[in-house]
Structure 1
Amino acid sequence: MKKTPTIFKRDPQNMKSLLNEINPNCEWVFAGEGVATRKYDGTCVKIDDGQYFKRREIKKDKKAPDGFQEETFDVNTGKRVGWIKINPQLEENKWHMEAFDDSLEDGTYELVGPKVQGNLEEYSQHTLVKHSSAEQYQNVPRTFSEIAKWFEDKNIEGLVFHHPDGRMAKIKKRDFGLKR
């Protein structure tokens, strides 16, 4: 899964902060294109031809683990993003395996549950939520201030906008300094 761009530019002096400037790669969002879906707070996995993978980000100058399948490389940060096959025998994959069901179809999913990211999604058991089945939101505003206001009463991590041609863009509630 490619790294999804944030719809607004980040402040180069503080990369955790946004500028009220549209990311040029995301202009389609502000043209009203695409569908807004819920961004779940978990960890990304994929099923491909019945094989189970977890997303892995490798920082600049770090060695990738054996079997790493690179999907993207960011020339600015030196980070590589890709996939590593989940070994069901390893303790670190315990929650991944608890959620896995070999009848699930190929695609990308978000692993959520009691031991994932503090369980902000409030799942009682480890579960895979298919990204293409994420809750959709109608009439989401598309300006900086209106999106910030829209997030105020929502208990969600953020939004992912999906364009019909496959492009995606995101925005998180915390990007506006709002707590969940």
Structure 2
Amino acid sequence: MKKIPTLFRRDPEDRKRLLRDVHPDCEWVLAGEGVPTRKYDGTCVLLDEDGSWWARREVRPGRQRPPGYRPVMTDEATGKTVGWEPIGQSAYARYLAEALASSAVGAPGTYELVGPKVNGNPEGTDGHVLVAHADAERLDAPRDFDGLRAWLLAHPAYEGIVWHHPDGRRAKLKHRDVA
């Protein structure tokens, strides 16, 4: 799991504001490559090849990493390290257990855990469920700044869009980035 770059560059003076310039690592999206999918608003969990569950965890610079933490990458801009912690020590462990009781889980991979106790339940689910990132809803979205802004504003229930390139690269654009 690597941090997914935002499709458009951020204003260095105000990191909450996007510029119209495409992030250099994401030019493939505007070239028409990749598949756009819905970005769900929950928390990311991983089912590894051994059948163990992990929770996504960001650790700020200078903070202690939790026991068993598996770092994946450090963001150069923020200094935060993104990685995985064993689900058993995560605050989301009991919600994952609820989701597993009601969700069909397939192959190892990443899932979005959504529900009443996750991020205020913006997805509006009645219970905790898992959405496989590999099975995320495919979208018919434009690929230019103005078109994407209008599309996201017209779809306020979506956290955003994630584009998936066949070679594994990804790019994202969140609703809050254009609102």
Structure 1 length as normaliser, TM-score?
Answer: 0.92
**Correspondences of 1:35-74 after superposition (within 5 Å):** 35-48=35-48, 49-74=50-75
**Contact 2:153/2:178, CA 8 A, preserved across alignment:** no
**Correspondences of 1:5-154 after superposition (within 5 Å):** 5-48=5-48, 49-87=50-88, 93-100=93-100, 104-138=106-140, 140-154=141-155
d(CA) in 1 for partners of 2:92, 2:39: 24
d(CA) in 1 for partners of 2:91, 2:62: 27
- Which letter maps to 1:121? E
Question: What SS does the aligned partner of 1:60 have?
Answer: coil
d(CA) in 1 for partners of 2:112, 2:154: 23
Aligned pair in 2 of structure 1 residues 6, 103: CA closer, same or farther (>3 Å)? closer
d(CA) in 2 for partners of 1:80, 1:91: 19
Q: After TM superposition, give the deviation of residue 27 of structure 1 in Å.
A: 0.4
Q: After TM superposition, give the deviation of residue 73 of structure 1 in Å.
A: 1.5
Q: How many equivalent residue pairs?
A: 175
Unaligned 5+ runs, structure 2: none
Q: Which moved more, 1:46-55 or 1:79-88?
A: 79-88
Question: What SS does the aligned partner of 1:118 have?
Answer: coil
Superposed CA offset, 1:27-74 (max 9, x none): 000100000000000000000021000000011111111100011122
Asked whether 1:172 is paired with 2:174, we answer yes
d(CA) in 2 for partners of 1:150, 1:47: 32
Question: What SS does the aligned partner of 1:50 have?
Answer: coil
Q: After TM superposition, give the deviation of residue 91 of structure 1 in Å.
A: 6.3
d(CA) in 1 for partners of 2:162, 2:92: 28
Aligned pair in 2 of structure 1 residues 77, 96: CA closer, same or farther (>3 Å)? same
Aligned pair in 2 of structure 1 residues 111, 92: CA closer, same or farther (>3 Å)? closer
Aligned pair in 2 of structure 1 residues 111, 104: CA closer, same or farther (>3 Å)? same
d(CA) in 1 for partners of 2:105, 2:39: 24
**Contact 1:61/1:78, CA 8 A, preserved across alignment:** no
Aligned pair in 2 of structure 1 residues 60, 91: CA closer, same or farther (>3 Å)? closer
Q: After TM superposition, give the deviation of residue 116 of structure 1 in Å.
A: 0.8
Structure 2 length as normaliser, TM-score?
Answer: 0.92
Aligned pair in 2 of structure 1 residues 54, 151: CA closer, same or farther (>3 Å)? same
- Which letter maps to 1:61? G
Q: How large is the RMSD of aligned CA atoms in angstroms?
A: 1.6
Q: After TM superposition, give the deviation of residue 145 of structure 1 in Å.
A: 0.8
